[in-house]
Each structure stands twice: as C-alpha cells, then as structure tokens.
Amino acid sequence: MSEKTIDSAPRVALVTGAAQGIGKAIALRLAEDGLDVAVLDLPQKRDQLEAVVEAIKAKGRGTVALYVDVSSEPEIEAAIQGTVDRLGGLDVIVANAAICEVMPIVDLTVESFDKTVAVNARGVMLAIKHAARHMIAQGRGGRIIGTAGTYGYAGLLHVPAYTATKFAVRGLVQSAALELRGHDITVNGYCPGIIMTDMTSFPDDEANGGHGTTLRKHFEIPPDIKPATPDVVASFVSYIAKPESRYITGECMICISPCNYRMATYE
C-alpha cells in the first residue's frame, strides 16, 4: 500500500549517492513503498543515475535526477529546494553518499582526510540541516536518515579517516534527534557493515576469484557465509522511513550479516 500524507499527496524522499549500490537499492525500495523519489549523485554518474530514474518511473512514481556534490552547502540547499519545487515537498531524506580510501594512519594525507570528512560527515550534516528546515516549515514531520557504519562502533585497520566520519555521523544523529523531536522529525542512521557493492571491489579480485574475494580473504570470512546485498539495507531503511517508525529516533542501527558480527562488536 502506498504511503500517503494526511491530504493524500504522495510522500516524497530524496536519496543521495543513489546511482549505484546501497543508494540505488534504497531509492528503488522507497519507490516500491509508494514514495516519489528524487535521486542525487555526481555529474560523472549521469548515465547510472538516469537508469535509476527510469526504474523509478517504471514503478509508477514521480522522480527527478539531481547532480550535486554533497559536500557543497549551496548545491545541497539547491537540491533540496529543487526536490520540494518539483515533487511537492520533502518527507524523507537518506544521506547515503560516502567514500572510503584505504590508507594506514602513518600514510594518511591531510588531503585524503579532509576529502573523506567533507563527503561522509559534512555531507550528512548539510543534508540534516537543510532537510530539517523544510520539514519544520511544512509542519508534517519527517524522517531524516544518514549512513553511519559498523566502524562507527569499533574502528578498523587502515581506514582511520572513514572510521572517524562514521563516529561523527553517530554524534550528528543523536544531537539532531534531540533538537528535532518536537517537530515529529526523527533522525536515525543505518550501519551496513560489509555489503557487496562497488565499494567492496578491489584490483586483486580477479586474481583471487571474483568480486568480494579480496575482502573475504582480508577479513577471513568463511566461504559458507554469504555477505549481505544492498537490498538488505534497503529493507531496513524502508521501515525507519515510514510514519509508524516515529518512536525510533537518535539511533544508529547495525544492519548486520553473520560475517560482520565479530567486527561490529568489541570482542
């Protein structure tokens, strides 16, 4: 059944980093749930994002493609305003865009650190800030959702900048949830752990036996354990985007598969 607002207009979502992987899966799942969905990614991913737009249209939902750098405040502000103008409002935002560079702390450059923080932490902050402004003005509540990560609970070797940003997202989520609770706006995060996407592809995959094999070897994941796919995360986000999830806020929840368990705890 389609989600509706009180006046029966379709609810509207905006998903960043939606050209592929988890973002694409979330955008398509929200469209299946009956929401109109604006999708956002970098200009160089135009062909991929247009394919997502066509898939959303095929589900009978309204959509718009936006080409934006999530670390730029003017661009994010314009993208959110464009979503409101073209789709009629904003009820859900999923700040999914993120990057990860494998670089041990002794080799970590200021440029790499700043770039990772700009996309993964500042990008989520800007999405929360400008989405909240529109949701408060609309007066019908909303759902703000950011991508955190299991590495926001326990650090991981060789990705110190990425790990730091995931801890930062947890702080942003908790603080914003307290500020926005009086407006029926929830703020939550999802922590995917290891999901089979382009981000888990490595140059050695072909030599090791295919996509994901380098990662499995690095983390000593047993061959009988199948890592999760983006659809698993999308189904989780689908629930916390719904009106009935209003009592869940300030949480960064682990969408976890068995192979992640050891890495996502302090054992």
Give the domains, in start order, of the chain with CATH numbers.
Answer: 12-193+229-255 (3.40.50.720), 202-227 (no CATH)
Angle, helices 230-240 vs 21-32, to 10°: value is: 50
Given this model, what pLDDT does residue 196 score?
Answer: 67
**Residue type for 247, please?**
Y
Angle, helices 21-32 vs 46-58, to 10°: value is: 20
Given this model, what pLDDT does residue 262 score?
Answer: 54
Q: How confident is the model at residue 266 (pLDDT cuts 50, 70, 90)?
A: very low
**Residue 56, both tokens:** 């959303």
Q: How confident is the model at residue 177 (pLDDT cuts 50, 70, 90)?
A: very high
Tens of pLDDT, residues 130-171: 999 999 999 999 999 999 988 888 887 889 999 999 999 999
Tens of pLDDT, residues 197-233: 666 655 665 666 555 666 666 566 666 666 778 999 9
Q: How confident is the model at residue 28 (pLDDT cuts 50, 70, 90)?
A: very high
- Report, as residue numbers or ranges, the catalytic residues: 162, 166
Tens of pLDDT, residues 76-122: 999 999 999 999 999 999 999 999 998 999 999 999 999 999 999 99
The span from the CA of 148 to the CA of 143, in Å, is 16
The span from the CA of 25 to the CA of 27, in Å, is 6
